[in-house]
Structure 1
Amino acid sequence: MTRGHDASPLQTVDRALEVLLSYSATRRDWGVSELADHLGLPRSTSQRLLAALAARGFLVADPTTRRYSLGPAMWHMAALWERSGGLARLAETVLDGLARATGRTASFTVPDGFHVRCIAAIDGEQGPVRSHPLVGDLYPAHAGATSRAYFAFLDPLVRRNMLTGRPFSRFTELTAVDEVELERRFDEAVRQGWARSEGEYDATTRAIAVPVRIGTTPVGSMSLVEPKVLDFPDELDEHVGALQDAAATLANLLSNRQPPPAQRDWRRGRSRVATT
Structure 2
Amino acid sequence: MSDTLRSAERALGALLLFDGERREIGVTELARCLDCSTSTAMRTIETLTAMDFLRRDPHRRTYRLSGRALGLARTWHGMASLANVTRPIVAKLAEGTGLTATFAVADHAHMRAVVAVDGVDGPLRNYPMTGELFPAHVGAISKAYYAFLPKIMRDQLTGSRPMAQYTERTRTGVSDIEEQFSEIRQAGYCTTKGEYDADVSALAMPIRATKDPLGSVSVATKGNLEITQQLLDQVAAATKDIGLMLGRRQ
**Residues in 2 aligned to 1:82 and 1:210: alpha-carbon distance in whole angstroms:** 26
TM-score (normalizing by structure 1)? 0.60
Name the residue aligned to 2:112. 117
2:207 to 177, 198, 212: 212
**Residue 157 and residue 84 in structure 1: after superposition, are their counterparts in 2 closer, same or farther (change >3 A)?**
closer
1:140 to 120, 126, 135: 135
User: Quick check: 2:141–2:204 contact (8 Å CA) kept in 1?
Assistant: yes
Amino acid in the other structure paired with 1:131? N
Shift, 1:116, TM fit? 0.4
Matched, 1:160 2:155: yes
More helix by share: 2
Name the residue aligned to 1:242. 234
Name the residue aligned to 1:173. 168
Moved over 4 A (4+): none
Shift, 1:83, TM fit? 3.9
Name the residue aligned to 1:226. 221
Amino acid in the other structure paired with 2:80? G
Q: How many percent of aligned residue pairs carry the same amino acid?
A: 35
User: Quick check: 2:138–2:171 contact (8 Å CA) kept in 1?
Assistant: yes
Name the residue aligned to 2:193. 198
Amino acid in the other structure paired with 2:149? L
User: Quick check: 2:136–2:157 contact (8 Å CA) kept in 1?
Assistant: no
**Residues in 1 aligned to 2:161 and 2:112: alpha-carbon distance in whole angstroms:** 19
**Residues in 1 aligned to 2:79 and 2:113: alpha-carbon distance in whole angstroms:** 16
The CA deviation string for residues 139-167 of structure 1, in whole angstroms up to 9 with x for no partner, is 11111111001100101122113321321
Matched, 1:128 2:120: no
**Residue 126 and residue 152 in structure 1: after superposition, are their counterparts in 2 closer, same or farther (change >3 A)?**
same
**Residues in 1 aligned to 2:79 and 2:162: alpha-carbon distance in whole angstroms:** 35
**Residues in 1 aligned to 2:158 and 2:94: alpha-carbon distance in whole angstroms:** 32
Amino acid in the other structure paired with 1:245? A
Shift, 1:112, TM fit? 0.9
**Residue 82 and residue 180 in structure 1: after superposition, are their counterparts in 2 closer, same or farther (change >3 A)?**
same
**Residue 237 and residue 148 in structure 1: after superposition, are their counterparts in 2 closer, same or farther (change >3 A)?**
farther
Structure 2 unmatched runs, 5+: 1-70
Aligned residues: 178
Structure 1 unmatched runs, 5+: 1-75, 258-276
User: Quick check: 2:79–2:114 contact (8 Å CA) kept in 1?
Assistant: no
